[in-house]
Amino acid sequence: MHIYAFGSVCRGEIDSKSDIDLLAVVDGYDNRFDLSIYSIYSYNRLSDLWQEGNPFAWHLASEAKIIYSSNGKDFIKQLGLPAEYNKCIEDCRKFYNLYCKAVDSICSGGSSLVFEMSTIFLAIRNFATCFLLGKKQIGNFSRRSALQIGDRSIQISPDTFDLLERSRILSIRGTGKMIEKEEVRSSLEEISSIKIWMNDLLVEVETNG
Amino acid sequence: MDEFNNRMDAQRNILEVINRQAGYTEELCGLSKNAIERWISSNHLNPRAEICEILFQITNKLFFLANKSQEQITEEYKLLSSEISALKITLEKAMG
């Protein structure tokens, strides 16, 4: 068994919204772990992710820190670098579709506003991370990756970005100030404009792969 | 539709069953254990009520939707679609 920390705490991105991401790598089924605290992978599955060049493998390779090893070795370090990431187009389209569906749900009167706003945050963050990894060969696994693409960064106000991030934290951790309908309504135009940003980056991704 | 977005749809459909119902002080923000516990507390519900227990069962099936960081990108977990659909029907019945 191996246990790692990864995520914001390993990047030194500490703020009031930081939590600690923990990964357990186990052999087969292990029911000792609280699934709301640990991400659990088998050794074989993690090795497969490395061979696929999956963004999560790149994420772990770049920042996971070992906390416990039952055999005294660092399993992730032994895996070396993951294979080249080659699903950028597919993944960016996937997160574009995820974003579109969430916006459609809000605009058509869906009842789960916080969940939809949280989904938009997830979509833009993962879209940006996949774009940077696939197109620029940059591993950026920050919650704020969409703001860190230089002149290709997402153009939304800090208030709207914070609203989306607040929704994500409410949806996952159940903490924070509840989102009011009026807040969503007043940011909807800006949120809808994210589609243009995604479309522009998709064109870049789809051009020359 | 890919497996990842299918799982997000499954979560959306469950949340709509709860949130389209009038009368709750706060909406259910997600299907993570923590989000459900907040919803139960803010709406002064009994955690042992049938609706709450069904939601926790669904969470156990869908825990991978509430996980962290880039893990969402992976296609690690299989969608337990038939079980979740059955739980959605049970939830709808429990909601009256």
CA B55 to chain A, closest CA, distance in angstroms equals: 14
Cα separation of A137 and A88, whole Å?
11
Report which of A34, A37, A36, A33 is spatially closest to residue A1, judged by C-alpha positions. A33
Q: What is the ipTM of this complex?
A: 0.89
Does residue A135 sit at the B interface (CB-CB below 8 Å)? no
**In the prediction, which pLDDT does B28 show?**
98
CB < 8 Å to B70, chain A: 55-56, 59, 126, 129, 141
**In the prediction, which pLDDT does A129 show?**
97
- For chain B, give percent helix, strand, coil, nearest 5: 65, 0, 35
CA B31 to chain A, closest CA, distance in angstroms equals: 7
Do the Cβ atoms of A106 and A184 come closer than 8 Å? yes
Does residue B57 sit at the A interface (CB-CB below 8 Å)? no
> Minimal Cα distance from B5: which residue of A?
A98
Instruction: Determine what percent of chain B is predicted with pLDDT higher than 70.
Output: 79
Question: Does A172 contact B66 at a Cβ distance shorter than 8 Å?
Answer: yes
Question: Does A174 contact B76 at a Cβ distance shorter than 8 Å?
Answer: no
pLDDT class for B5, splitting at 50, 70, 90? confident
CA B58 to chain A, closest CA, distance in angstroms equals: 13
**In the prediction, which pLDDT does A16 show?**
73
Report which of A118, A116, A112, A111 is spatially closest to residue A170, judged by C-alpha positions. A118
Cα separation of A13 and A16, whole Å?
10
Does residue A96 sit at the B interface (CB-CB below 8 Å)? no
**In the prediction, which pLDDT does B1 show?**
52
Of B1, B9, B32, which has the smallest distance from its Cβ to A171's Cβ? Answer: B32
Of B2, B29, B69, which has the smallest distance from its Cβ to A141's Cβ? Answer: B69
Q: What is the pLDDT of residues A147-204, one digit of tens each?
A: 999 999 999 999 999 999 999 999 989 999 999 999 999 999 999 999 999 999 999 9
Query: The tokens of A105 are what?
Result: 């749900």
pTM of the model: 0.91
Does residue A105 sit at the B interface (CB-CB below 8 Å)? yes
**In the prediction, which pLDDT does A29 show?**
67
**In the prediction, which pLDDT does A188 show?**
95
Question: Does A59 contact B70 at a Cβ distance shorter than 8 Å?
Answer: yes
**In the prediction, which pLDDT does B64 show?**
53
Does residue B88 sit at the A interface (CB-CB below 8 Å)? no
Report which of A202, A59, A191, A190 is spatially closest to residue A118, judged by C-alpha positions. A191
Does residue B38 sit at the A interface (CB-CB below 8 Å)? yes
Q: What is the pLDDT of residues B14-53, one digit of tens each?
A: 999 999 998 899 999 999 889 999 999 999 999 999 999 9
Question: Does B19 contact A45 at a Cβ distance shorter than 8 Å?
Answer: no
Mean pLDDT along residues B71-90: 66
**In the prediction, which pLDDT does A5 show?**
95
pLDDT class for B75, splitting at 50, 70, 90? very low
Cα separation of A167 and A112, whole Å?
11
- For chain A, give percent helix, strand, coil, nearest 5: 55, 10, 35
Question: Does A98 contact B8 at a Cβ distance shorter than 8 Å?
Answer: yes
- Which residues of chain A register pLDDT less than 70? 29, 208-209
Of A56, A94, A112, which has the smallest distance from its Cβ to B70's Cβ? Answer: A56
pLDDT class for B63, splitting at 50, 70, 90? low
Neighbouring residues of A52: CB distance < 8 A, sequence distance ≥ 6 = A82, A83, A87
